[in-house]
Amino acid sequence: MKPKILLIYTGGTIGMMKDPETKALRAFDFSKLLVHIPEIKQLDCEIATYSFDNPMDSSDMNLKEWRKLGDVINENYDDYEGFVVLHGSDTMSYTGSTLSFMFENLTKPIILTGSQLPIGDLRTDAKENLITSLQLAIQSKEGTPIIKEVCIYFEYQLYRANRTAKMNAERFEAFSSPNYPPLAISGVHLNIDQNLLWKGPVNDPAFAKAEQQKSSISNTNQMRYRPQLIDNVLVLKLFPGITKEVVRAICTISGLKGIILETYGSGNAPTKKWFVNTLKEALENNIRIVNVTQCIGGAVAMGKYETSIQLKKIGLVSGADITTEAAIAKMMYLLQHTDSVASFRTYFETSLRGEITEESLNEKDCQ
């Protein structure tokens, strides 16, 4: 039997057209999308489609929409061999990262793709992105999918979704995976590097917590859907001249649960007493703070320089080489599924879905 793929349309440039009056791009009927790509009929698979009732620009993505997308995949999980999600590129890395944590122990591919130009444009990149994403989703060995994780395919490269960031708003090569190689490269041949694919599973905090509560779950290799997330988090990006008033106002927001602190270089930050004390007070108020680098590539190594020693001493969690997009998703996930500072740190500094390179957790070398 031919493999079955569910093609899910959330919105984005790939399915947009220009408004004749304003010239702005807006979403159009998903049914018209496939009319522009008759080549899909040549693929050796059966394709079913699902469209959001109100296709959206990815700038409007939020927890509610992530839950809607996750529910569609979960409800159809047993009926399809893979899933391809058409999504706007602006927040695709956030959505891909979030889905990677929502689905524990994936046994099938979830591939997000989109385009920089609308499907009807003469020079569109949409056709290649969509066709190759479908081809990747049906790759199997002895009846088992080869790819078993959440990915992004864009401009001839397949990436682990929680390793990506959108790097360019104009070029077709919109995405980058600065700290992890592409999982596959599309050329004359479709080359998948199976050594780079996520193997899993690992001891996930949600599973461990369920076991402690005497859950009926017994199969550690079973896919589990974890849509619950806590969104009382924010990103605080440092810059020269940031003031005490700004940092304090942010760290004392009512109901705040977590901060992704974007620091300089390998995790460096101001050494002023007011700055360190403000972060320390936030930690004492049970706010989790994770240190990630503003740099495109590389990792946090607190203690490597004097300007990060204090952050390590007061108890910031190292984000190692995680992207900001994945750090946000992971924090939302762990705030829901851990119940102590120690367990949050342990799981954040563990690669749960291949989102960090464990070798980059080198703080011990900087003591």
CB 233, CB 257: distance < 8 Å? yes
Radius of gyration of the chain (CA): 21
Query: Smallest Cα–Cα separation from 293: which of 285, 301, 282?
Result: 301
Question: Does residue 105 lie within any of the structural domains?
Answer: yes
Question: Does residue 130 lie within any of the structural domains?
Answer: yes
Domain boundary among 170, 192, 214: 192
Query: Smallest Cα–Cα separation from 114: which of 175, 66, 164?
Result: 175
The CA-based angle 287-293-296, given to 5 degrees, is 140
CB 112, CB 153: distance < 8 Å? yes
User: Is 13 labeled as catalytic in the residue annotation?
Assistant: yes
Structural domain harbouring 301 = 228-366
- In the set 10, 13, 132, 278, the catalytic residue is 13
Q: Is the overall model pTM greater than 0.85, yes or no?
A: yes
Question: Does residue 202 lie within any of the structural domains?
Answer: no
Distances (CA, A) of 350 to 140, 177, 247, 268: 29, 19, 28, 22
pLDDT at 123: 86
Question: Does residue 214 lie within any of the structural domains?
Answer: no
pLDDT at 264: 97
Question: Does residue 180 lie within any of the structural domains?
Answer: yes
Question: Does residue 26 lie within any of the structural domains?
Answer: yes
146 and 265, same domain (yes or no): no
- Divide the 367 residues of the chain into consecutive groups of 10 and give the mean pLDDT of each group: 93 77 70 72 90 88 97 98 95 98 96 87 86 96 94 96 94 91 93 92 63 47 92 97 98 98 96 97 98 96 89 96 98 95 94 89 51
Domain boundary among 144, 165, 192: 192
Question: Does residue 206 lie within any of the structural domains?
Answer: no
Question: Does residue 247 lie within any of the structural domains?
Answer: yes
163 and 20, same domain (yes or no): yes
What is the rounded distance in angstroms from the CA atom of residue 88 to the CA atom of residue 114? 6
pLDDT at 178: 94
Domain boundary among 172, 192, 212: 192
pLDDT at 172: 84
Q: What's 347's domain CATH number? A: 3.40.50.40
Q: What's 45's domain CATH number? A: 3.40.50.1170
Query: Smallest Cα–Cα separation from 26: which of 67, 61, 55?
Result: 55
Count of domains forming the chain: 2
Residue 41 phi/psi, 5-degree rounding, is -65, -20
Q: Which two tokens stand for residue 85?
A: 């999600």
Q: Cis ω on the peptide bond leading into residue 145 (within 30° of 0)?
A: no
pLDDT at 126: 83
241 and 153, same domain (yes or no): no
